[in-house]
């Protein structure tokens, strides 16, 4: 989770530099072409989907743990695990890692409240911000 959050952040920084015309195939071999903002959004979406119910009502984070998947007293209490299986998203390790795994909430908020165009505009503003050097003036 923390490495993916850093990758999302880096992709957004590169998007601000390269712009919307710079596109890559995502995922590789899929034939789908995206700009770096869209790739970052896709990674954040995949991170979020680990915790959301699929079309069968199961959360990937709970893997094969039937108690957490089906019991009405447990199925809506989402645990934030320390690590996750890369192929299934099932949680591994400690189930109370709100620090590392909590970054998924930041990704959800970020992409719900911003657009690729806003990132490009903010990148332009940051590039032309003037800073007065010490001793000058």
Q: pLDDT of the chain along its 137 residues, tens only?
A: 889 999 999 999 999 989 999 999 999 999 999 999 999 999 999 999 999 999 999 999 999 999 999 999 999 998 888 889 989 999 998 887 767 788 898 899 999 998 999 888 877 776 655 667 677 55
Question: What are the φ/ψ torsions at residue 30 (nearest 5 degrees)?
Answer: -85, -20
The answer to the question of residue 48 being in a domain is yes
The answer to the question of residue 20 being in a domain is yes
Our count of domains for the chain comes to 1
The answer to the question of residue 137 being in a domain is no
The answer to the question of residue 129 being in a domain is no
Element (H, E) at 35: strand 33-35
What is the rounded distance in angstroms from the CA atom of residue 8 to the CA atom of residue 104? Answer: 11
The answer to the question of residue 18 being in a domain is yes
The answer to the question of residue 57 being in a domain is yes
- Position 29 scores a pLDDT of 96
The answer to the question of residue 132 being in a domain is no
Range of the domain at 104: 2-122
């Amino acid at each position: 989770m923390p490495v993916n959050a850093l990758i999302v952040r880096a992709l957004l920084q590169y998007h601000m530099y390269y712009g919307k015309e710079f596109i890559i195939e995502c995922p590789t071999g899929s034939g789908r072409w995206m700009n770096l903002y869209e790739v970052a959004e896709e990674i954040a979406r995949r991170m979020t989907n680990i915790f959301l119910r699929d079309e069968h009502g199961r959360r990937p984070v709970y893997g094969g743990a039937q108690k957490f998947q089906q019991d009405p007293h447990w199925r809506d209490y989402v645990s934030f695990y320390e690590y996750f299986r890369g192929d299934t998203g099932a949680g591994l390790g400690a189930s109370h890692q709100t620090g590392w795994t909590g970054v998924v909430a930041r990704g959800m908020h970020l992409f719900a409240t911003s657009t690729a165009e806003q990132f490009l505009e903010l990148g332009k503003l940051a590039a032309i911000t003037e800073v007065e050097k010490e001793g000058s003036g």
